[in-house]
Amino acid sequence: MINEKTKKLSPSIDEWLKEAKTDPVALQEGMFLVHNGVVRQTPKAKVRQGIDDGSMVKGMEFAYDEAKVDAAITETYKMNGIFHVRVWLNEGTLELGDDIMYVLIGGDIRPHVVDALQFLVEKIKSKCVTEIEQK
């Protein structure tokens, strides 16, 4: 069910990185990656599957299951070389260009961090959120 709450204020990635680097485990980290998903005009079906019905996205209804997101974060921390995970998800009625999500991953080496970011974003998008494009 879509949550009727209004969209949230996006976080400061600069602040997230400052906080992450002050954590004692930061001494083991050699890389941070950030994912920022935004509402785009092109429908998901066109981008992902090549299906073009001529429509354009005008906005999105977005909601998430907090318990499932927390479980996905816990799984990500179990991955090799991952020491920092932070997730922010918007909610409610979003407009074109609005932030949908931010994900920050910190870890020891690039392959571990890239894999963890890919894993977590995919898990969130496929198992934890509801996105309804408004056309």
* Cα separation, 61 vs 134, whole angstroms: 7
* Cα separation, 131 vs 127, whole angstroms: 11
CB–CB of 38/99 below 8 Å? yes
Residue 18 has pLDDT above 60, yes or no: yes
Can you tell me which residue has the tokens 């609005």? 98
* Cα separation, 42 vs 52, whole angstroms: 9
Show the domains of the chain with their CATH numbers: 13-134 (3.90.1170.40)
Look at the chain and count its residues.
135
Q: What is the pLDDT of residues 107-121, one digit of tens each?
A: 999 999 999 999 999
Greater confidence (44 vs 66) lies with: 66
Sheet with 31-38, side-by-side order of all strands: 31-38, 99-107, 82-89
